[in-house]
Amino acid sequence: MHRFANPAEFNRLADRILPWAKLVLLVTLGAGLYLALFASPADYQQGQSVRIMYVHVPAAWMAMFTYMVVAGASFTAIVWRHPLALLAGKAAAPIGAVFTALALITGSLWGKPMWGTFWEWDGRMTSVLVLFFLYLGYMAIWRGIDEEDKAGRAASILALVGVINIPIIKFSVDWWNTLHQPASVIRLDGPTIHNDMLWPLLILALAYKAYFVIVFLWRMKLEINRRKLSVLRMARVSG
């Protein structure tokens, strides 16, 4: 693992992964959109509005997944002082914030026709909004503290404390039985959603994951270059 602490080594690894991730994205996005928009049936209760699910649920899954990436990177950075781990958290956070915003926006666009409201302070919606603010807080700390290592440590601590919110999001639909429907895919007794709807959902979820890998690797390169820049600028000032 420490081999990839070397930025040159990391860039080489990234360039090997990127073409495959792009291929996966292309295939899954095409197949997923076709299934989601054309081949899948309308819901017997929700009609055609159920098609919002195929962009809403993967965004929500990725919002939580990306948070665990940020938290995992933060943990690695604090415990092992792995030099690229801090940058990994910094690179992933904006992607997670975007997924969270999309989950909230598509959720309210689905809620309006189905529940009659864009927003309700229900357990699921409130805890996902908290997730969004955790991302913003993490990014604000990075921006707010000049010394990069200090900023990274402070942001990492916030990310780790915020992990408590992830199980709250997951179980919010069971604890507060209000508007948001309970889980129908990730359940102990197996999915309760019909296969014709499950497949487009899972395929598009894979497309979102491939998108994450691609943009994450791009942003890692960006953060490595930014770090190089600050070293070069420092050398100019002192030299």
Partner 1 sequence: MDGYFEMGGYAFYVWTSYGVTALVLIALAVFSLRANAAAKAEVERLKPKRQKRPSRVTEAAPQEAP
Residues found near partner 1 in the complex (CB under 8 A): 6, 8-9, 37, 42, 47-49, 51-52, 55-56, 59, 94-95, 98, 101-102, 105-106, 109-110, 112-113, 211, 214-215, 218-219, 221-222, 225-226, 228-229, 232-233, 236
d(CA 179, CA 67) in angstroms, rounded, equals 24
Bridge partners of residue 47, in order along the sequence = 43
Q: What angle do CA 195, 27, 73 make, to 5 degrees?
A: 90
Residue 86 C-beta: closest distance to partner 1, Å: 17
Residue for token pair 């026709």: 113
Residue 133 C-beta: closest distance to partner 1, Å: 18
Q: Which is nearer to partner 1, 109 or 163 (CB)?
A: 109
Residue 25 C-beta: closest distance to partner 1, Å: 10
Q: Which is nearer to partner 1, 110 or 169 (CB)?
A: 110
Residue 166 C-beta: closest distance to partner 1, Å: 22
Structure tokens at 106: 């598509």
At residue 23, φ and ψ (nearest 5 deg) are -65, -45
Q: Which is nearer to partner 1, 63 or 153 (CB)?
A: 63
Q: Which is nearer to partner 1, 46 or 184 (CB)?
A: 46
On whether the CB atoms of residues 114 and 52 are closer than 8 A, the answer is no
On whether the CB atoms of residues 52 and 109 are closer than 8 A, the answer is yes
